[in-house]
Chains A and B, each alone.
Chain A
Amino acid sequence: MKKNKSRISVEFLGRIVENPLVLPAGIMGMTWSGMKFTWENGCGIITSKSLTLEPRKGHPGPVIAEFEGGMLNCMGLCNPGIDNGLAEVNDFKDKYDVPVIVSVFATTIDDFLALTQKVNESKGDFIELNLSCPNVADEFGIPLAASKVQVSKIVKAVKKISKKPVIAKLSPNVIGLTDICLAAEAAGADALCLINTLGPGMLIDIDMKRSVLSNRTGGLSGPCVKPVALRAVYEAYSQVKIPIIGTGGVSNGSDAIEMLMAGATLIGVGSAVYEGGIGIFDQINKEILAYLDKYNYKTIGDIPRLEKLK
């Protein structure tokens, strides 16, 4: 099954994607049918949960805390492990010709390589290195994405053996993000995914006098992070030549167009699935089409990017 090329289809690393919307890692991508349901509702590319070598149950609840501007989450990389996770990806790919990004998480080069070998044998289209989960610092230390040396080493090692294009998912919670993006590009990354969740942050229940999240802190997402995501994407876009998946706080068509203008090739839509429902993907695609009409643009490629920073 395949949907047709349209005014909003996009070319990404040699593949035509039916629309620019990406389901980011961690949202919905746990089961093959969840991937299908998301695609049926208008998402162009599906990213799996970040898969680890062994299954992980993640943190105990509460793993979600909502507040006015968005939400915190400390899922804790719950996933069925690389073998089960790739079985879900393959089950989906057997039935639907929709591009899938397989997200993987590890803390050492050896583990990243072991994961890459498994992804090589899968039907996934791309591999994304999650170098930036903010919710497992107690277990694994500071995210690798904080160091351009680490990012460079891992990307280089994975690139050497990967049969799939490599996407580096980076963290906004660093000093000198653009330098880290440049390091990933120089190491051979085919694309970047910016940004993972912000913070981490915390919320307190003043009656129970405890932090709301079980893990005390969690990554910040939702509308409140959009300005940071736009800035990160724009600064990276000004420097790197590889495509960027811009994700962070996109909840409507106007946000998506801002992300394109900042320089993103594809747009992640994650937390908005909560407020907007699963119909958010179709809704955003419709709003992008309406924007094309408003300015007489033929295709999404006609939407101008901002002039790059000098």
Chain B
Amino acid sequence: MADLLAMTALEAHEAMVAGELSAAEYAEAWAAAAAGDDLNAYLWRADGDDGGAIAVERPSIAPIAVKDIFCTEGVPTTAGSRILEGYRPPYTSTAVRRLLEAGAPILGKTNMDEFAMGSSNENSAYEPVLNPWDRGRVPGGSSGGSAAVVAGALAPWAIGTDTGGSIRQPAALCGIVGLKPTYGAISRYGMIAFASSLDQCGPLTRDVRDAALLLGILQGGDPCDSTSVGIEGGVRLPDREDLSGLRFGVPNDIADQVFDAGVREVFEATLATIERLGGEIAEVSLPHAEHGISAYYVIAPAEASSNLARYDGVRYGMRADGAGDVTEMYEETRAQGFGAEVKRRIMLGTYALSSGYYEAYYGQAQKVRTKIAADFSTAFGAVDFVITPTSPSVAFGLGEKTDDPLAMYMNDFFTVPMSLAGIPAISIPAGLAQPEGGGPDLPVGFQIAAPAFAEQKLLDAAHALEQAIGFDVQSPRSGAPYPPMSGIKRTGSGGDGDG
């Protein structure tokens, strides 16, 4: 059984296709593992007793965990919100339909920050997910459940969504691979909308090859999403082993940015690994990237305030009782149904779009977006990739940042610029570092961004780098207090040899 869970999704797929692995036995092993969820990572499991069922005729792909933002016919879909408690959509999102058609059974729906707004999973209406590396810490967000199930061996792989870093940041904090594809690579149909010009579905996996396999299944144009175009030529499994001839651009102001010393050490060690593989490190200038957070926290809330207008207690979801007139019913339903962060973003977005402020905020933010995209275009004239840490810190403690919204938003500092530019970016685990406040070492993510629709090149390079880093993908088993340290170079200031 343990051996079944040790396989990557790709290895399992190849074994199933070769007839060496029983799909039923494999799926059962994972269902049993998922049933042992002690991280609050699943909001719904397929083998539960609530009647929802997702059948796959001939499973040949590893079962998958799906962020609870993807509408799935007949299956509870809450987007982590009280306002959608008990909602069972009448249709299935294109991403989930593609998985089912490929032969991947759905293991369950994963916990998340409410409407994907958050970087710690503490904004879920259903209690936060715990980080499998240290249960006193957050898994990141908003796809925290999807990251935790992969890192905690409760699912072989998962899908999530990324609006400003919501796949990459939790992947980094949980020590797995997370890919935000180019905007338009995967259909958004049936994916509950947060900020429509930024939202993108993507894989959370143990390694880069699994991410490639999953992206290949998910990508493609869809008549139901007029902004989806797919990836021309599809995706093949990466097998590159070196980085010769490739140029990696480091933002020239990175030394001025505020991030943990341990993260910095791992980042610098990874630069050395790139050079050892024949890659070249260069400096690039992204002068507007530092304004990414400001632009993002205007654009995303503005779009959210419009998208979330649909939750009004009329067509689906909860309705507050006892309201006098219809306006009062709207106001009371939304007051009871939404959590604090969602209310904050609706207020921020409504303010930014209101008469007299529109140009100063929304108009200006859209112009910053143009400049950030132009910065990347210029950079990609000189380098193949732009590289940064994924997150300024390793996983932080539960409750540590909940009182300071702005401090929480700064978690997205390195990931937001790529979202605004619409370009693909991947986070791979690059090593371990000690948290600033002390404690056992935790995973550090390394972000690689590429030009729009250059996913193949991105995956090829990430695969080569991942092989050289040799991060232990045999992640912390659910139930074990800490992961094995074997084979991982200790960084950070710790080194006091606990064990």
Are A and B co-members of a single complex? Answer: no
Interface residues of B (CB under 8 A from A): none
A residues whose Cβ falls under 8 Å from a Cβ of B? none
